[in-house]
Amino acid sequence: MFNLKNTNKTIQDIDTFFDTIDETILVFKSGVKNYLYNNTEQFNDNLQSMAKLEKTSNELRRSIESKLYTHSLMAEVRGDVLRLLERLENVVDILARNLFQFEVEIPFIPVELNNDFIKLTETSTLSVEGIIPAAKAYFRTPDLMTDKIHRVYFYEQETNKLAQSIKRKVFHEMDKLKLSEKFHLRYFTLHIEELSHAAEKIADLLSVMAIKRNFWC
């Protein structure tokens, strides 16, 4: 384990950063659902919350990075920790960007696809949610990381299946849609699917970090 006497406060800050990402995921899921069901007021609240959380997570990451360098903390694994924080911040950026794209582009999503998009959103965000306990385990119980990382890969694969299913339905079954509308639906399907791909890359990083960590314990 790390020397908690010197690093405990920073680890607490990292936990707060992780919790902020969890909040961001919840806001994204709520935002997509509110958009699909035309809950305009709640959707706008989601956008405001997302903007605040994005700002908070960015400030937290910069503060943690500064402490890691200024106080020479976790020197032997600092590079990996910084890469982890940057990739997690990228997930927040993806969540925020994709939610705001709904507001900017106002995609037409047929009612019969609502459940498909909700399920896709739930599954894709589950892959991201799986990253958080795995990342937390790195700092406290690294021996539990492998089992937690496995969940990320599972939900990433399930997300791919759901995204393919939506795209097939749109292009093969929904003849009344314009081609431009079909491409727009494909575009937003890929946006949501992108989250699981980002989570998979973080899981790959955590897998390597877990192996390295064994040499320092």
2 has pLDDT over 50: no
Q: How far apart are CA 163 and CA 169, in angstroms?
A: 10
Residue type, 66: S
Residue 96: partners with Cβ closer than 8 Å, 6 or more residues away: 24, 50, 51, 53, 54
Question: Where in the sequence is the domain holding 107, given as residue range(s)?
Answer: 4-216
User: What CATH number does residue 83 fall under?
Assistant: 1.20.58.220
Q: How many domains does the chain have?
A: 1
pLDDT tens per residue, range 142-197 = 888 888 899 999 999 999 999 999 999 999 999 999 999 999 999 999 999 999 99
pLDDT tens per residue, range 16-72 = 999 999 999 999 999 999 999 999 999 999 999 999 999 999 999 999 988 888 766
